[in-house]
Structure 1
Amino acid sequence: MPISVGGAVAKFSILGPVVVEARDRVVEIRGALRRILLIALLVAEGRLVPVESLIEELWASSPPRNVENALQAHVSRLRRSLDLLEPERPVPRLELFSTGYRLAANPDEIDTSAFLRALEEVRQNPAMAPQEAVRRLRSALSLWRGEPFGGVSGGQLCSLAAARYQESRVTALELLFDYELRLGRHSTIVPELSELVGAAPLNERLCEQLMVALYRSGRQTDALALYRQMRARLNEELGVEPSPTLQAYERAILGHHPILAVRADHLALRMSA
């Protein structure tokens, strides 16, 4: 179940194609430059974005003539589109200043903020019940509908934000599967983990979790084969051996270490490696 944006008037979704909606009404942000403009304002998280930064974001090294007028035109059109969603709003969301622009939005109105907040709540509360942690993490991950911004490529503001969101998504997935393993759901998560390891073949932690899930599912041979595949990829692509942690998991599987038993805390092995 997706995280609720409870009292929010508008909702901005950018963990996937850009969607802006309010009270069951959706507005289409037409034009690639206007979508990049909206994304740049949203990832600023309520901070003012200088004119120079937005120009760089939209046009990089090839700005049009009278570039500030061109930016103002895109801002005006975006502002009108947003105003159509909230005709009762006393002041426009898109605020104009002498040095830049700012989009007024509460954290509950932006899916990225809801996702990052949920992740941080779980990370900062290690005593949280595993079932509750799994519920919150899966709810947060359900906000993802594809590539950040629907694959729209802007400048540095957008690219850095997209990388940060993707990194946080991987962190949430790694945390989720540690909790799922603690709950004894190893067989259930094998298909998910297999798909993720296939998409991110150099992620050692996901590989480690899949090895544990396979081993606990009675598939020791598959777990060891996965380790060999990871080792070959690391050698071929990066010229390195698996980390000491991943090597420790291989040894534990070969030796049937009790720390890998169902519902045992396999993280203790990671910490001692």
Structure 2
Amino acid sequence: MLNFSILGALQIRTALGPAEISGDLQRTLIQTLLVNEGQSISGESLVEEMWGDSVPENQANALQAHISRLRRKLKSLEPDRTLARVTIHPSGYRLTVHEGELDAAEFINAVRQAELATQTDPAATAKLLGTALSMWRGPVFGDFTGGTLCQLACARYEEYRMRAMELRFDAELRLGRHAAVLAELHEAHSNHPLRERFCEQLMIALYRSGRQADALNVYRLVWLHLSDELGIEPSPALRRVEHAILSHDPSLSPGVASPFALQTA
């Protein structure tokens, strides 16, 4: 069994320890196969991903040489395995990845589980997502994102990470743990100032911590950002949170799930 980690710089772990994939083209090849999560990808797409505009003269042979090299490398990591990890299909090439072997797939599965449990079991949701988020070691693929397909996958995984953070903050606020997540909410909002869900959650955490003026100032700054950078006003949900804070709505009390900010998307 191999463990592929892409929530950070590419890592492959075996029973004997970590393994290296050397060369930019080999890294791009395996990363592209991994983000397809067991689905086939055409040779043309692999060539474009690996070489971009600098396609070699005999691209079919060049690609096959790299496929063979990757097969040998993976075979050396699993000497007892009889079937090759990388296989050819009518629709292209596929890297076999079993359940539990790819951290990104495990992470997405945890987020989907949390979406089902967030309304009924916030404690389990917070624990599940805390564990899932700890799988991230940095940006997907680290500083080596590869071509267009990998970059699109990076954006998709990053959006799942944002969703996981929002769901976890929701769960923690439902449990009345606003003080425990206040610093993390500040950081999330600072890193993503135009993501309104983080703003809603931060405003509620500040309000519950007795900092109404700070909560309203967060709203004011976001309103200015949205107006100046996008030419739009805050969403109805964010405006409802501001109104609830101004009116001291009882639903914003600690331990109470706000009908405004803590709804699931």
* Alignment TM class, shorter chain as reference: over 0.9
Partner SS for 1:247? helix
Aligned counterpart, 1:228:
220
Aligned counterpart, 1:3:
none
Contact 1:25–1:85 (8 Å) recurs in 2:
no
Aligned counterpart, 1:5:
none
Alignment root-mean-square deviation, CA:
1.5
Deviations 1:169-223 (Å, cap 9, x if unpaired)? 1111111101000111101101101111111110000000000001101111111
> Could you tell me how far 1:270 is from its partner in structure 2?
6.4
1:241 and 2:210 are equivalent in the alignment: no
* 4+ long deviations beyond 4 Å: 268-271
Partner SS for 2:100? helix
Contact 1:245–1:270 (8 Å) recurs in 2:
no
Query: CA–CA distance in 2 between the matches of 1:137 and 1:61?
Result: 40
How many residues are matched?
263
Partner SS for 1:138? helix
| Aligned residue type for 2:240 | A
- Pairwise mapping of residues 1-273 of structure 1 onto structure 2 (< 5 A)? 9-97=1-89, 100-268=92-260
Deviations 1:58-102 (Å, cap 9, x if unpaired)? 112220111122212222222222112111111221223466321
| Aligned residue type for 1:143 | M
> Could you tell me how far 1:127 is from its partner in structure 2?
4.9
| Structure 2 unaligned residues grouped into runs of 5+ | none
Query: CA–CA distance in 1 between the matches of 2:103 and 2:2?
Result: 11
> Could you tell me how far 1:254 is from its partner in structure 2?
1.3
| Aligned residue type for 1:152 | F
Deviations 1:135-191 (Å, cap 9, x if unpaired)? 111111111111111132322321221111111111111111010001111011011
Partner SS for 1:56? helix
Query: CA–CA distance in 2 between the matches of 1:195 and 1:63?
Result: 43
Partner SS for 1:151? coil
| Aligned residue type for 2:253 | A
Query: CA–CA distance in 1 between the matches of 2:82 and 2:235?
Result: 57
Partner SS for 1:17? coil
Contact 1:21–1:85 (8 Å) recurs in 2:
no
Give me the TM-score of the superposition, normalised by structure 1.
0.92
Contact 2:200–2:261 (8 Å) recurs in 1:
no
Go from structure 1 to structure 2 and tell me whether the alpha carbon gap of 1:90 and 1:187 turns closer, same or farther (over 3 Å shift). same
Query: CA–CA distance in 2 between the matches of 1:19 and 1:55?
Result: 23
Query: CA–CA distance in 2 between the matches of 1:128 and 1:215?
Result: 24
Partner SS for 1:49? coil
Go from structure 1 to structure 2 and tell me whether the alpha carbon gap of 1:114 and 1:221 turns closer, same or farther (over 3 Å shift). same
Go from structure 1 to structure 2 and tell me whether the alpha carbon gap of 1:232 and 1:193 turns closer, same or farther (over 3 Å shift). same
| Aligned residue type for 2:97 | A
Query: CA–CA distance in 1 between the matches of 2:99 and 2:181?
Result: 31
Query: CA–CA distance in 1 between the matches of 2:61 and 2:247?
Result: 69
| Structure 1 unaligned residues grouped into runs of 5+ | 1-8
| Aligned residue type for 1:213 | A
Give me the TM-score of the superposition, normalised by structure 2.
0.94
